[in-house]
Structure 1
Amino acid sequence: MDFSLTEEQELLLASIRELITTNFPEEYFRTCDQNGTYPREFMRALADNGISMLGVPEEFGGIPADYVTQMLALMEVSKCGAPAFLITNGQCIHSMRRFGSAEQLRKTAESTLETGDPAYALALTEPGAGSDNNSATTTYTRKNGKVYINGQKTFITGAKEYPYMLVLARDPQPKDPKKAFTLWWVDSSKPGIKINPLHKIGWHMLSTCEVYLDNVEVEESDMVGEEGMGFLNVMYNFEMERLINAARSTGFAECALKMPLAMPTSVSLLVNPLGITR
């Protein structure tokens, strides 16, 4: 089996390296992280150059690319020491193409093209429901033609920065207990939503938040996918997410390896380079 890169892939990776090393030095990301500032200039540059929109159809402002090419691009971003964990633009659009409505897909694509950022945060985890999503207690109920969501989410990545959330909520009286969960499209600025960023030891460029939902009113049209299929839709999203995480982590590992290797020639001990002294 031939694992060599194509000429197009080589050119893509070279363009990513040039973009980041020329415009976004290590000091830029260090300052953003120290100040807890979202690197909007970086995300805008990735979107403008098509990097964060790889694999997205042209009709939604993207550039068609296979999964291997997409993962290579994420690895290269990480290898340059840049925060590839921020890049979920394509993932958001893919999910909406799979199970979202035409209106939800339109909002996702328009928001991403306008800002260069992902359109929504995934509001799944709760204080008592992490890997075991079946223990989630956030509910949705219907009254007078409206839907009301109540509950608490935690460790929600990007809730402060992104304009929308996909909220996983339980029907308190499901016809089929195996189909109790549904995803809802929620505008993060709606009344009844309170977002509290959590203190972290790393990844300060992007918030991780507690989200409180108190009688948050949404429409039936805000249902994402079929009713009762929320958990399966989340699993589809996780398929892509696990692949993305592997690519990012591999790139970060290579970046971490390069940093100490560069030290013997760049760090001096008295008058000799560290590598010679040791």
Structure 2
Amino acid sequence: MFALSEEQQAIRQAVRAVCDAKVAPAAADVDASARFPQEAYDALVASDFHAAHIPEEYGGAGADALATAIVIEEVARACASSSLIPAVNKLGTMPLLLSASDEVKAAYLPKVATGEAMFSYCLSEPEAGSDAASMKTRALRDGDGYVLNGVKRWITNAGVSDFYTVMAVTEPGQGARGISAFVVEKSDEGVSFGAPEKKLGIKGSPTREVYLDNVRVPADRMIGDEGSGFATAMRTLDHTRVTIAAQAVGIAQGALDYALGYVQERQQFGKQIAQFQGLQFMIADMGMKVEAARQLTYAAAGRSERGDSDLTFFGAAAKAYASDVAMEVTTDAVQLLGGYGFTGDYPVERMMRDAKITQIYEGTNQVQRIVMARQLLAGVQSHL
């Protein structure tokens, strides 16, 4: 049904080479120190994998959705925290690609393409997570601009990114139709950040609150028309859930690869533990599920690139399935390593911790199932 082109296979090999040399060696320290993986960022920028999705007209590599997914998958195989560099750059800039004026695109996308700046996405709030339309952040029209006030929570790479796509209410009482999107710059007066969250996993990717205190934004920094922000946010997630699925596949593959090496070296009862049928069944299930998740993710990536009508279903399905697989496979990898798997001396416990967030962010897997059910009931899924 599906095979990668020679170019796509070459991209995978190139990213893996960069990650084996520059990203994987620092992954344990990045996790233990809860520090931004600067060496990974520098290596990804040098190889043009930090924001591969940016179109060539803005100085980017112009990678399609599948190639971008492969990049994220391979980085996540080495270090999940580092994979949030290309993933969140896509999340932050996707609203611009979908809805912004040519002037806004020209002002910001080239800086991301060169690695001069990163872009984050500000949708969630303390009281608006899954129910994002209930956000409280306000954008009040004032002369030739808007004044933003509010708090955004769970913002990935906050404080490191220079630019932020911020959703805010411009028309109170209108629900989702009253929300607009803006580009906010880190340097804008009134922008500040909370303390880094102390997290279970992805510790190398800073997660902080973003505070907006009378932040004045010129009107020409609005993304799309007034009132179109929530629709843009949801369209964005249709595309970027594919990148979270790719991240989950990468984490799972990294854990499987490590476990395969371990079980062929570890000896018990006079033979490799890989020769025990009970472990072989576990390994078979792990490999089967990783490959199923990968194929579903790539199928969703194809729909993202084409803008197919069933992208919403496939994006949600890929994200939910791949993240559930990542949690299961990393847990099994810990089991295969026995007591060693439970220690920080081996990478699978980090991978297990990192995998958990893929079931939660960019829409919990419970929300994904609601999305899928609505799509199925509306009859929009393709019959392949």
Scaled by the length of structure 1, what TM-score is found?
Answer: 0.86
Structure 1 partner of 2:214: 215
Moved more, 120-129 or 104-113: 104-113
Structure 2 partner of 1:202: 201
Code of the residue aligned with 2:254 in structure 1: it is: C
Moved more, 100-109 or 215-224: 100-109
Instruction: Supply the RMSD in Å over aligned alpha carbons.
Output: 2.6
Q: Is the 8 A contact 2:163 2:183 kept in 1?
A: yes
Separation in structure 1 between the aligned mates of residue 146 and residue 79 of structure 2, nearest angstrom? 44
1:127 is paired with a residue whose SS is coil
Structure with a larger share of its residues in helix = 2
Q: Is the 8 A contact 2:45 2:114 kept in 1?
A: no
Separation in structure 2 between the aligned mates of residue 4 and residue 157 of structure 1, nearest angstrom? 33
Structure 2 partner of 1:231: 230
Any gaps of 5 or more consecutive residues in structure 2?
277-384
Structure 2 partner of 1:260: 259
Separation in structure 2 between the aligned mates of residue 212 and residue 249 of structure 1, nearest angstrom? 30
Q: Is the 8 A contact 1:123 1:156 kept in 2?
A: yes
Structure 2 partner of 1:121: 120
Structure 1 residues 216 and 253, CA gap change in structure 2 (3 angstroms)? same
Structure 1 residues 18 and 232, CA gap change in structure 2 (3 angstroms)? same
1:52 is paired with a residue whose SS is coil
Structure 1 partner of 2:187: 189
Moved more, 157-166 or 68-77: 68-77
2:50 is paired with a residue whose SS is helix
Structure 2 partner of 1:103: 103
Deviations 1:64-117 (A, max 9, x none): 343333323322232344532321334544432321233321332232134365
Deviations 1:7-63 (A, max 9, x none): 22222212222222133333x111122222212232232233233343432222223
Deviations 1:100-158 (A, max 9, x none): 2333213322321343653x211111111111112111111123444211111111111
Separation in structure 2 between the aligned mates of residue 37 and residue 154 of structure 1, nearest angstrom? 19
1:97 is paired with a residue whose SS is helix
Deviations 1:205-233 (A, max 9, x none): 11111122221111111211100000001
Q: Is the 8 A contact 1:168 1:184 kept in 2?
A: yes
Separation in structure 2 between the aligned mates of residue 116 and residue 268 of structure 1, nearest angstrom? 50
Structure 2 partner of 1:242: 241
Separation in structure 2 between the aligned mates of residue 170 and residue 193 of structure 1, nearest angstrom? 17
Structure 1 partner of 2:38: 40
Separation in structure 1 between the aligned mates of residue 93 and residue 101 of structure 2, nearest angstrom? 11
Structure with a larger share of its residues in strand = 1
1:194 is paired with a residue whose SS is strand
Identity %: 27
Structure 1 residues 167 and 34, CA gap change in structure 2 (3 angstroms)? same
Deviations 1:161-213 (A, max 9, x none): 10121111112546x55521011111122222221122212211111111222
Separation in structure 2 between the aligned mates of residue 63 and residue 115 of structure 1, nearest angstrom? 12
Structure 1 residues 33 and 219, CA gap change in structure 2 (3 angstroms)? same
1:128 is paired with a residue whose SS is coil
Any gaps of 5 or more consecutive residues in structure 1?
none
Aligned residues: 272
Scaled by the length of structure 2, what TM-score is found?
Answer: 0.64
2:201 is paired with a residue whose SS is coil
Moved more, 255-264 or 219-228: 255-264
